[in-house]
Amino acid sequence: METKAGDPGAFAHFDLKRVPSPAFVVDEAAVRRNLTILADIRERSGARVLLALKAFSMWSLAPLIDEYLDGYCASGLWEARLAKAHFRGPISTYSPAYKADDLAELIPISDHITFNNPAQIDRWKCESNQLFIPDSSEIGLRINPEIPLGETAKYDPSQPHSRLGFPLSQLAPGHFEHLSGIHFHNLCEQGFDALQRTWEKVEPVIAPHFGTLKWINLGGGHHITRDDYDRDALVDFLKDLKARSGCEIYLEPGEAVALDTGILVGEILDVFDNGMAVGITDISATCHMPDVIEAPYRPAMLDEGSEGSPIRLGGPSCLAGDIIGDYILPEPPHIGQRIAFLDQAHYSMVKTNTFNGVPLPSIWLWNSDNDSLKCVKSFDWTTFRDRLS
């Protein structure tokens, strides 16, 4: 995948030595700018905007986010607990499947509870399964639009034999019996055109039920805060859909909240030659930026050069594939050199792990408007010890 972001913003002037290495640094002012854009979409369109916690769960910013958004989207019990404990606003929960004990706790704290197929709804509505979903619950069904639009097949919810959502082609009138809403999530880092194409596929099947549905959730993956996103077209679409359907319309962006708001600062620990320059850093792709390997993609570097000899940068773990990428550094590579990768606030922070006992980056909150800087979370070796037995 090619990264769709990478604007350094105010980080172009941030002194990387102000924080220990490795460290995530999130610019509160940049987050606020993204939230302002999303709030404008909300106000002009009448749609409701939820933060998808799976992408950005930095609850130290909850008071700021609460100012701008309508609520939160959880992917299971622990995210729902986080939303309930630290954020304000409605909670919309979806998971491909639920455990009975989790669902029993989720139902009273979730304003919407969305299931992956109609059989799940029938199963959990049945008293004989010792879990009865009350009629007052707002039940949703995730559908699969069956229109693959993603750049990478394995990240596309509409990939063949997808586990995410009930196939649109199998949806029948009887499946709407217990539903308050319909949910679909078909996008990944995409513009308005992908949403429009998806809806054109979905609408003929959903439209006959506009009179009984209370809400339609258009999911996430909308890169609304990217400069080239057609936000006016989105507003017009949302207003029209709300008017024609009579439903509340929801968006649940994750990346759009934190797009281009954070960097991951690291340090070069060693440099040697193996047919090309190789640099070992204290940033691990597998531990700190797993999507670099899983997607895969090449993260943009702060102040990357355009001329000169490249160096292959990788992490300190024993994994042979712990490679970040090949870069031309802004100055000749040397031990102790600070580097930073752009657009690392979303997904990277929530996906970090301690494979190989590699230390986790600390988390810092910076405000580029007033230059305040504080550490909101640091980790020591007990983080690694205490998750094991």
Please state, in angstroms and as integers, the Cα–Cα distance from residue 340 to each residue in 291, 295, 352, following that order. 16, 20, 16
DSSP class of residue 233? H
Q: Please tell me whether residue 366 adopts helix, strand or coil conformation.
A: strand
Alpha-carbon gap, residue 310 to 279, rounded angstroms: 10
Alpha-carbon gap, residue 187 to 66, rounded angstroms: 25
Q: Please tell me whether residue 231 adopts helix, strand or coil conformation.
A: helix
pLDDT (0 to 100) of residue 131: 62
Alpha-carbon gap, residue 196 to 202, rounded angstroms: 10
In this prediction the pTM is 0.95
Q: Which residue has the tokens 């308005």?
A: 192
Q: Please tell me whether residue 225 adopts helix, strand or coil conformation.
A: coil
Alpha-carbon gap, residue 166 to 135, rounded angstroms: 22
pLDDT (0 to 100) of residue 129: 54
* Helices 231-245, 28-45: crossing angle, 10 deg rounding: 40
User: Alpha-carbon torsion 11, 15, 20, 21, what sign?
Assistant: positive
Domains defined along the chain, listed by start: 9-25+261-386 (2.40.37.10), 46-258 (3.20.20.10)
Whether 3 shows a pLDDT value over 80: the answer reads no
Phi, psi of 368 (to 5 degrees): -70, -15
Whether 128 shows a pLDDT value over 60: the answer reads no
Q: Report the chain's mean pLDDT, rounded to a whole number.
A: 95
SS (H, E, C) 147-216: CCCCCCHHHCCCCCCCCCCEEHHHCCHHHHCCCCEEECCCCCCECHHHHHHHHHHHHHHHHHHCCCCCEE
- Count CB neighbours of 214 within 10 A: 15
- The partner residues of 272 in beta bridges, in order of sequence, read 278
Q: CA angle, 99 as apex, 98 and 105 as ends, to 5°?
A: 90
Residues in the chain: 389
Please state, in angstroms and as integers, the Cα–Cα distance from residue 89 to each residue in 29, 110, 113, following that order. 22, 10, 15
Whether 23 shows a pLDDT value over 60: the answer reads yes
Phi, psi of 285 (to 5 degrees): -60, -45
Whether 6 shows a pLDDT value over 80: the answer reads no
Whether 127 shows a pLDDT value over 60: the answer reads no
pLDDT (0 to 100) of residue 134: 74
pLDDT band (50, 70, 90) for residue 46 = very high
Q: Kindly report, residue by residue over 300-318, the tens digit of the pLDDT.
A: 999 999 899 999 999 999 9
pLDDT band (50, 70, 90) for residue 77 = very high
High-pLDDT (> 90) share of the chain, %: 91
Please state, in angstroms and as integers, the Cα–Cα distance from residue 381 to each residue in 89, 322, 360, following that order. 35, 21, 9
Q: Please tell me whether residue 241 adopts helix, strand or coil conformation.
A: helix
